[in-house]
A = this chain, B = another copy of it.
Amino acid sequence: MSNITIIGTGNMGTAIAKILTDGGATVESISHSDEPTSFAGDIVILAVPYTALPEITDKYRSQLAGKTVVDITNTVDFATFTPVEFDAGSGAADLAAKLPESTVLKAFNTNLAPTLATKTVGDRTTTVIIAGDDADAKAQLSAALTAGGVNAVDAGPLARARELEAVGYLQMGLVINGQMNWTDALGIIK
């Protein structure tokens, strides 16, 4: 069974923790403000706003070494509602560059929190889209998620985080402009 730490206890962190616990994973939930000194999980999910990532990478680089680190952020400047540009191509690639001894995955950023909390979008099961360069790490997260009652889809290498972040931004705009609800999804329909 997976041993997973979730940093962040907001809507996203809480909903992700529930799914993983339902699937039998051992989940350690830590508030971003708890100032932890170590993480029990082999997988550490950073369920925080992207603005909190620099502090986390500075403070916990060594504690995150050797672990799978999952970036769920939407890299949007909420003051101007414009996407943040990264020389690395995406927020996740930027994070990976700052955590060279960790295996970074992008996941959950295309899921609105209510669809993770209920595990459904309308009458469909919620699908989590994952990108990353390490097949084993993706398979481990996928297995933990499917055990918890949602679908998981592999979008390919971490370079695809750029497109996943675009989906997240587009989706937020559609919700804000009333074209979608928070309980809907810009996701895979079969």
Binding site for B on A (CB under 8 A): 83, 121-122, 124, 153-156, 160, 162-164, 166-167, 169-170, 173-174, 177, 179-181, 184-190
Contacts and interface: CB of A to CB of B under 8 A. Distances in A.
Contact of A167 (B154, B170, B181, B185): B170
A106 to B, nearest CB: 12
B167 A163 contact: yes
Nearest to A123: B123
A177 B188 CA distance: 14
A162 B170 CA distance: 9
A188 B185 contact: yes
B160 A170 contact: yes
A25 to B, nearest CB: 23
Contacts of A179: 153-155, 188
**Residue in A164, A167, A186 with the greatest tally of chain B CB atoms within 10 Å:** A186
A83 to B, nearest CB: 8
Contacts of A190: 121-122, 180-181, 184
